[in-house]
Amino acid sequence: MTIQERAARVRLLLLDVDGVLTDGVVYVHGDGGESKGFHIKDGAAIVWAQHAGLKVGLLSARHSGSTMHRAAQLAIRIVRQGMASKRAAFDEILLETGLAESEVAYMGDDLLDLPVLARAGLSAAPADAAAEVRQAVHWVSAADGGRGAVRELIELVLRAQRRWDSVVAGYAER
């Protein structure tokens, strides 16, 4: 099956957070709080994907207030954090959404993501993902994590579904 055929079947974009939506750096402040940076192009593309009818979800092994805040900003309703097993969380998400594995695109960057990447209909990784992850996925972005990799994946999916031109036209007409 080609990448375009896999992308055409996607109904849910499921994303790891640290190393995919961020560059993997967590700033720990003196008061114990933390912060991380999210790429604005990735956020815009998430909004486009949702407007085009795709569901978007986050799956992170770490629990982070910053992740919850970003999910709320982007109206992402499927959020799993602090999961000991990403595989079990993936099963929960499939059950709750009623989707098949083949209808899910998952982007991960490290070894913890391998169990979900092995099952997703379209598995993807940022350019700077662990070598083992890049070798295991269907598609690797030209961009690093936290630097537009998610936007590239979303554009790939929307193009395969023939929805990209309507996204572009929506801005060209303004």
For the stretch 110-155, pLDDT in tens is 999 999 999 999 999 999 999 999 999 999 999 999 999 999 999 9
Could you tell me if 101 and 121 are in contact, meaning their C-beta atoms sit under 8 angstroms apart? Answer: yes
* Dist. CA 85–CA 172, nearest whole Å: 43
CATH of the domain at 109: 3.40.50.1000
Residue 174 lies in a domain: no
Residue 65 lies in a domain: yes
* Dist. CA 85–CA 83, nearest whole Å: 5
**The total number of structural domains that make up the chain:** 1
Does the pLDDT of residue 173 top 80, yes or no? no
pTM over 0.75: yes
What is the C-alpha end-to-end distance of the chain, expressed in Å?
Answer: 38
Residue 123 lies in a domain: yes
**What residues make up the domain containing 38?**
3-169
Residue 31 lies in a domain: yes
pLDDT digits over 18-72, tens only?
Answer: 999 999 888 888 998 888 889 999 999 999 999 999 999 999 998 988 999 999 9
How would DSSP label each residue in 52-63? TT-EEEEE-SS-
* Dist. CA 144–CA 157, nearest whole Å: 18
* Dist. CA 156–CA 169, nearest whole Å: 17
Residue 35 lies in a domain: yes
Q: Helix crossing, 40-51 with 149-160: angle to 10°?
A: 20
| Three-state DSSP class for residue 3 | helix
